[in-house]
């Protein structure tokens, strides 16, 4: 079967969420707006996630996986996914189901017009501290990048694969995907999506890597923006 869309799902020690995740993704595949498959990236989990991932992939032909030998972080997992996929569209969601894969259909409505479509979490079901640190990080990032994106941390995005493969991924730069698309002279659209509380497993980001860490990454982005190579070809000899 020819697929149009691949959903990347990075996983790090999420064994308590994987049964729910499997059910949610299988349900979505039946109603996806385009032909869709799922790529699980096991980011060096040291719990029972790998065994469950392999069982999931055996039971559903639309599921496949990549497993890292050690934990490398979200940016590396996304880069591995971008490198691996061959569909024209690539998406991303977290394994904790704080966002609903069915909302990918809301984003897919805009992919013909935009290079990246990103969710904005409505009525967030997070703690006060988590929402505060996220708000601070988004404000600082917008100040540096001028990307105009309200919620770059929302783990529900779709990118045209051609553009995703051109993103020079560095550790921490998963927060800057819209800004990196804009550096390519690409276009970005925001769409409101649903948000849910985490019901199992542990959050992988604390105050440091939601607020202070992203501030450091902003300076990395400014360096990259200054050095970034982008060109368009108007004419060739052939």
Residue 158 scores a pLDDT above 90: yes
Query: Taking the CA atoms of the chain, what radius of gyration do you get in angstroms?
Result: 17
pLDDT at 14: 94
pLDDT at 221: 74
Here the CATH number for the domain that contains residue 123 is 3.90.550.10
Identify the band that residue 90 occupies on the pLDDT scale cut at 50, 70 and 90: very high
Residue 207 scores a pLDDT above 60: no
pLDDT at 15: 95
Residue at 124 is within a domain: yes
Query: Cβ contacts of residue 137 below 8 Å, gap of 6+?
Result: 153, 175, 210, 211, 214, 215
pTM for the whole structure? 0.82
pLDDT at 47: 94
| Half-sphere CA count of 75, side-chain side, radius 13 A | 14
Residue at 238 is within a domain: no
Give per-residue pLDDT as tens, 7-56: 999 999 999 999 999 999 999 999 999 999 999 999 999 999 999 999 99
Q: Is 61 in a helix, a strand, or coil?
A: coil
Residue at 191 is within a domain: yes
Q: Are 113 and 187 in contact (CB under 8 A)?
A: yes
pLDDT at 217: 75
| Half-sphere CA count of 150, side-chain side, radius 13 A | 10
Identify the band that residue 110 occupies on the pLDDT scale cut at 50, 70 and 90: very high
Closest to 36 in 3D by CA, of 109, 110, 101, 118? 101
pLDDT > 90 in the chain, percent: 56
Domain that holds residue 115: 5-227
Residue at 235 is within a domain: no
Residue at 78 is within a domain: yes
Residue at 232 is within a domain: no
Residue at 65 is within a domain: yes
pLDDT at 200: 77
Give per-residue pLDDT as tens, 123-157: 766 665 666 566 666 666 666 666 768 777 788 99
Q: Domain count for the chain, please give it.
A: 1
Residue 206 scores a pLDDT above 60: no
């Amino acid at each position: 079967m020819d697929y149009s869309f691949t959903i990347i799902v990075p996983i790090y020690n999420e064994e308590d969420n994987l049964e729910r995740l499997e059910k949610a993704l299988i349900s979505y595949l039946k109603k996806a707006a385009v032909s869709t498959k799922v790529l699980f990236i096991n980011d060096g989990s040291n719990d029972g996630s790998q065994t469950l991932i392999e069982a999931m992939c055996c039971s559903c032909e639309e599921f496949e996986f990549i497993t890292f030998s050690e934990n490398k972080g979200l940016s590396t997992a996304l880069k591995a996914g971008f490198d691996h996929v061959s569909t024209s569209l690539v998406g991303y969601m977290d394994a904790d189901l704080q966002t609903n894969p069915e909302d990918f259909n809301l984003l897919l409505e805009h992919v013909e017009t935009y290079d990246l479509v990103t969710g904005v979490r409505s009525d967030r079901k997070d703690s006060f501290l988590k929402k505060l640190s996220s708000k601070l990080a988004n404000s600082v990032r917008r100040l540096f990048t001028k990307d105009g994106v309200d919620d770059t941390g929302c783990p529900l995005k779709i990118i045209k694969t051609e553009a995703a493969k051109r993103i020079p991924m560095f550790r921490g730069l998963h927060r800057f995907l819209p800004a990196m698309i804009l550096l390519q002279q690409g276009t970005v659209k925001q769409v409101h999506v649903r948000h849910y509380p985490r019901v199992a497993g542990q959050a992988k980001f604390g105050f440091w890597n939601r607020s202070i860490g992203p501030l450091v990454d902003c300076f990395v982005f400014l360096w990259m923006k200054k050095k970034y190579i982008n060109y368009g070809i108007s004419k060739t000899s052939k």
